[in-house]
Amino acid sequence: MKTEYDYKPPNGKLLRISLEYDEKKRIIQNIQITGDFFIYPEEGIEELEKNLRNTLLLEKNLFDKISSTIDSNNLIIIGFTVEDLVGGILGGICRDGKMAST
Amino acid sequence: MEKWRLLKTGYANAYRNMAIDEAILYAHSKELAPPTVRFYQWNPSAISIGYFQSLEREVDIDECHRRGIDYVRRITGGGAVYHDKELTYSIVISENHPEIPSNILESYHRICGAIIKGLYNIGINSRYSPINDILVDGRKISGNAQTRKYKTVLQHGTILIDVDVDTMFTLLKVPDEKIKDKFIANVKDRVTSIRKIRGEEISFDKLADALKKGFEEEFNIKLVEGKLTEEEEEFAEEFEKNRFSKKEWNYRR
The ipTM of this complex is 0.95
Quick check: helix, strand or coil at residue B236? Answer: helix
Q: What letters, b where the CB count within 10 A reaches 16 and e where it falls short, cover A18-49?
A: bbebeeeeebbeebbbbbbbbbbebebbebbb
| B101 close to A (CB below 8 A) | no
Residue B31 structural domain: 2-250
Q: What chain A residue is nearest to B152 in terms of C-alpha separation?
A: A41
* pLDDT tens readout for residues A26-78: 999 999 999 999 999 999 999 999 999 999 999 999 999 999 999 999 999 99
pLDDT at res. A96: 79
Q: What's the 3-state SS for B19-50? A: HHHHHHHHHHHCCCCCCEEEEEEECCCEEEEC
Backbone angles phi, psi at B26, to 5 degrees: -65, -45
pLDDT at res. A101: 43
Q: Is A82 exposed, middle or buried (0-12, 13-18, 19+ CB in 10 A)?
A: middle
Q: Which of A6, A14, A78 lies closest to B104 in CB terms?
A: A78
Chain B: nearest CA to A8, how far in angstroms? Answer: 11
Interchain CB distance below 8 Å, A76 and B104: yes
Interchain CB distance below 8 Å, A35 and B53: yes
Interchain CB distance below 8 Å, A34 and B53: yes
Which residues from A are below 8 Å from B53, CB to CB?
A: 34-36
Which residues from B are below 8 Å from A14, CB to CB?
A: 175
pLDDT at res. B177: 85
Q: Return d(Cα B29, Cα B20) in angstroms, integer.
A: 14
| B131 close to A (CB below 8 A) | yes
Per-residue pLDDT of chain B (253 residues; tens, 9 = 90+): 999 999 999 999 999 999 999 999 999 999 999 999 999 999 999 999 999 999 999 999 999 999 999 999 999 999 999 999 999 999 999 999 999 999 999 999 999 999 999 999 999 999 999 999 999 999 999 999 999 999 999 999 999 999 999 999 999 999 888 899 999 999 999 999 999 999 998 999 999 999 999 999 999 999 999 999 999 999 999 999 999 999 999 999 9
* Residue B148 amino acid letter: R
* Residue B142 amino acid letter: S
Mutate to test the interface with A, among B52, B56, B58, B156 (most CBs of A within 10 A): B52
- Angle of helix A59-72 relative to helix A44-52, nearest 10 degrees, comes to 150
Which residues from B are below 8 Å from A79, CB to CB?
A: 77, 131
The total of structural domains in chain B comes to 1
The CATH number of A2-96 is: 3.30.390.50
Domain boundaries, chain A: 2-96
pLDDT at res. A102: 42
Closest CA to B161 of B84, B90, B235: B84
Specify the CATH number for the domain of residue B91: 3.30.930.10
Dihedral (C-alpha) A80, A81, A87, A92: value to the nearest 10 degrees? 30
* Residue A101 amino acid letter: S
Beta bridge partners of B192: none
* Residue B13 amino acid letter: N
Q: Return d(Cα B145, Cα B131) in angstroms, integer.
A: 9
DSSP state of B76: S
Q: What chain A residue is nearest to B51 in terms of C-alpha separation?
A: A42
pLDDT at res. A99: 60
